[in-house]
A and B are shown apart, each in its own frame.
Chain A
Amino acid sequence: MASTDDLPGPRTSILNNPLWRGLFWQGLTLALLVWLALQAFDNAVVNMRARNIPTDFSFWNRPAGFDVNQTLIPFSASTSTYGQAFFVGLLNTLLVAAIGIVFSTIIGFTVGIGRLSNNWIVARLATVYVEVVRNTPLLLQLLFWYNAVLKALPGPRESLALPGSIYLNNRGLVLPEPVVGAGFEWALGAVALALLLAILFAIWARVEQRRTGARHHALPVAIGLLLVLGGGAWLASGNPLSFQQPVLRGFNFAGGIKVIPELVALIAGLSLYTASFIAEVVRAGVSAVPGGQTEAAQALGLRRGDILRLVVVPQALRIIIPPLTNQYLNLLKNSSLAVFIGYPDLIQIFAGTVLNQTGAAVQVVSITMAVYLAISLVTSLAMNLYARRIALHER
């Protein structure tokens, strides 16, 4: 008797053969796309010639001729190129994103845990905060912070004095400036060594617990190492870090770090906005841990701290971290709203000023999109690897 493989397949019309149908539709889509792309390319060449728009990247090395009011790398209107302007903008964007991530994480976790609090008034306040901030546009909040709050502050002479010699006025924020003395690198090296030793001890403790079950607490050892090694080196080198206090002189402050008001408004708006989303992520993550887990841990006799540290937090983090990374990426992408309040970020400098001056729209917009895309893709990739590492290995 013939096996099923030898039987002739069902005789169907080629029109109904899934393979051919698939090939047909895909071929059609591809042909359409290629035709559209060719048309777009032709039109772009014609249009760009007609409007005298550059079609290459030669603008990259031409002198920029504009100034930027906040630069992390040296930049001057007369000598710097458009390429350097791009890096100035990129660094400013990354600066906002980094500071914003720190603040939004702190506020977001606080509010998220606040929403789960037993305390009625704390939970209510956290809910009101989340609902109000989440349901209004970020751009509106940025404009509010910049135009209605920071611009309405008094001038430098009547600055709001915050604790720790921090002053806030309509020209921005003035912070004490750290001054590095001799021996600072030694102290820093000692702290780094202490951290390294602490990490090594933690790894050893973990291996040891896997092997024998005996617990060696890593935290006290880490604190001890930091205090003895780091603190010792700090004192031995004679307290190498000091702060220069800003002083009011004439109409403005002398000394200290001056933060431009655009950056202050941007950080305030972005952090508070993203924090409300992070709060929801945290709340969802913590309430997704089944109550039975806590009860089981109590039944095993774990203490409250240990229940949180060993049972609840690891499971909550597994749920929290992927959406949390998404929020960080959102913050980075939302930092492009800086252009509305005039903070010199990648969009404002590159897709704004450089595009207007050179007219190289296609190149500039493509580069800008590629930068954001690259950061997003790398972060997502890292996230996927991490998620695979911490995923539950189910059988």
Chain B
Amino acid sequence: MSVPDRTTSPFEPSADLPPPPMMRGTWGWMRENLFSSLPSAFLTVGCLFLLAWFLPGLIRYLFIDAIWSAADGEPCRAPGAGACWAYVNAKLTFFTYGAYPRDQLWRVNTVMASGGILAVWLLWPAAKGKGLAALLFFAVFPIVAFGLLTGRTPFPSLLLPSPGSNIEWWAFRAAIGVAAVALPLLALQRFWLGGVLLFLVAWFMAAAHWRLLGLTRIDTDLWGGIFVSLLVASVGIVFSLPCGILLALGRRSRLPIIRFLSIVLIEIVRGVPLITVLFMANTMLPLFVPDAWSPDRLLRPLIGVALFSSVYMAEVVRGGLEAVPRGQYEAAMAVGLNWRRMMMLVALPQALTAVIPGIVNSFIALFKDTTLVAIVGIFDFLRAVDTQRLDPAWAGPSISATGYIFAAAFYFVFCFAMSRYSQMMERRHAAGRKR
């Protein structure tokens, strides 16, 4: 190996020059991003003044002058005192559970914890066994939650032998019979039918033994706080997705009556405020059903919220269905899929993936809208905060603001987390399409 001959080597570029010093480092960044022109410089200075005027006061109010622990509202009423976090601390149990009996809180905690674990399992992208998680979350969890929270048996009495007869023995025999059919079906790989039958077995056994748990009944007018807010939001979320998909399919159906009915329902509910839907559910719904069936006062707004969020979800899903290229439908028909399979296997998976941001946005809107159930007398989180600020033991100039700031932080954490999650999922799904 010899040194390359410089005279014959055609061209060798010299090393790049460093960028001009004015464009580098902190100073360069500031020149580019804060003082790029005269108006920009003025804006920067204005914003800095705004921050200087606003931020120190805010920090003092929230942290430095704040009262962190106190037995009652006395220290918070002192002049110059900031946010009264001691008040939030003292009221935290009420904010979380409302008036739910204090010795029964474990029931709420169990439901919230298991719901949280199942939700994380469903939402964690890398988690395994999503099918099982979905089954638990959408079929088993609501039944157990209903039973635990109300203390009533979650199983309608119609399907049970009359109490007084030998109920366990009856259920046991029925269960053996059903299981005798279900197990061969499972063995023959008829998973759907076998699964449903096994579910029935579990239902019977649980129903027969439910009263052995000895849970006291707790009426819904004692429920309140964060727990009710989360409950309303979960009911809305769990119902809005399937109902919204059905309505969207109905709106795109080629059957004129179904399409017309779907359009009418969607446009009417979308055209009115949620408050009027809640009023309707609260005052009109009990008139439309026989007196004996009059829905529980918590169930009425739940129906209203589920209806309201379903139609918004329907519009989101419809956007996704319209974004699926026509060729996909034609290809599905060409390979001989029927309508149900075409939708389940071809159209909906693509449509729902495409509108994940829209779906999460309507979940966020739904979560914020749960605050409105207060209008029909439900003690949700915000209402709990709003009533407790009048407690004479704590009343003071900073109590209202403290309560609202705490509530704002709570809602912000949930909504912000949801929007970040949707952005992450969007990126994951877009990864395959990026070039």
B151 is an interface residue with CB less than 8 A from chain A? no
Scoring A139, A369, A376 by chain B CB atoms within 10 A of each residue's CB, the highest score goes to A139
Say if the beta carbon of B144 comes within 8 Å of chain A.
Answer: no
By secondary structure, the A interface counts as helix
> If the complex has contacts A22-B255, A362-B284, are A135 and B412 also in contact, measured as CB distance less than 8 A?
yes
Is B25 an interface residue when CB atoms closer than 8 A count as contact?
Answer: no
**Counting CB contacts under 8 A, is B371 at the interface?**
yes
B362 close to chain A: CB less than 8 A: no
Q: Which residues of the partner chain A approach B411 to less than 8 Å between Cβ atoms? A: 135-137, 140
Q: Find out whether the CB atom of B287 lies under 8 angstroms from the CB atom of A365.
A: no
A144 touches B415 (CB 8 A): no
CB of A337 within 8 A of CB of B261, answer no
A363 to chain B, nearest CB (A): 10
Q: Mark B6-29, 1 if CB is under 8 A from A, else 0.
A: 000000000000000000000000
B65 lies within 8 A of chain A by Cβ: no
The answer to whether B408 and A373 have CB atoms under 8 Å apart is no
With both beta carbons as reference points, the residue of chain B lying nearest to A152 in the complex is identified as B397
Q: Is A340 in contact with chain B by the CB < 8 A criterion?
A: yes
Q: Closest B residue to A47 by CB, please name it.
A: B287
Chain B residues in 8 Å Cβ range of A53 = 287
B37: nearest chain-A partner, CB-CB: A118
Interface segment, one of B175-183, B198-206, B275-283: B275-283
26 A-B contacts (beta carbon < 8 Å) = A22-B254, A26-B255, A43-B289, A53-B287, A117-B43, A119-B33, A119-B43, A120-B34, A121-B43, A121-B44, A122-B47, A125-B47, A134-B415, A135-B411, A136-B408, A137-B369, A140-B404, A144-B408, A147-B386, A147-B389, A148-B400, A337-B372, A347-B273, A355-B283, A365-B283, A372-B272
Interface status of B58 (Cβ within 8 A of chain A): no
Q: Are B276 and A369 in contact (CB under 8 A)?
A: yes
A388–B305 alpha-carbon span in the complex (Å): 34
- Tell me, in angstroms, the Cα distance from A43 to B43 when the chains sit together: 65
Q: Which of B108-116, B122-130, B263-271 contacts A (4 or more CB under 8 A)?
A: B263-271
Interface SS majority for chain B: helix
| B328 in the interface (beta carbon within 8 A) | no
Within 8 A of A (CB), among B48-64: 48, 50-51
Q: Does A132 contact B (CB under 8 A)?
A: yes
List, in ascending order, chain B residues with CB within 8 A of A125's CB. 47, 50-51
A385 close to chain B: CB less than 8 A = no
* Cβ A365 vs Cβ B280 within 8 A: yes
What is the total of A-B residue contacts with beta carbons within 8 Å? 151
Asked if A372 meets B271 with Cβ closer than 8 Å, knowing A119-B40, A152-B400, A339-B375, the reply is yes
Instruction: Answer whether residue A334 sits at the interface, using C-beta atoms and an 8 A cutoff.
Output: yes
Residue of B nearest to A360 (CB): B283
**Chain B residues whose CB sits within 8 angstroms of the CB of A26 once the complex forms:** 255-258
A122 in contact with B43 (CB, 8 Å)? yes
A29 CB–B CB distance under 8 Å: yes
- The distance in angstroms between the C-alpha atoms of A47 and B284, with both chains bound, is 11
Contact B255 A121 (CB under 8 A): no
Q: Distance in Å from the Cβ of B226 to the closest Cβ of chain A?
A: 13
For the complex, what is the distance from the CA of A178 to the CA of B290, rounded to whole Å? 58
**A43-B258 in contact (CB<8A):** no
Are A119 and B286 in contact (CB-based, < 8 A)? no
- A121 near B34: Cβ-Cβ < 8 Å: yes
15 additional contacts, CB 8 Å, given A44-B287, A125-B47?
Answer: A47-B286, A118-B36, A119-B43, A135-B411, A136-B412, A152-B400, A333-B273, A333-B274, A337-B275, A337-B372, A347-B276, A351-B275, A362-B287, A365-B283, A373-B268
Assess whether A139 is in contact with B271, with CB atoms less than 8 Å apart: no
Does chain A have a CB within 8 A of B343? no
* A228 at the B interface (CB under 8 A): no
Of the candidates A132, A144, A368, the one whose C-beta lies within 8 Å of that of B412 is A132
Give the chain B neighbours of A355 by CB distance below 8 A: 279, 283
Q: Is B364 an interface residue (CB 8 A)?
A: yes
Q: Are A144 and B401 in contact (CB under 8 A)?
A: yes
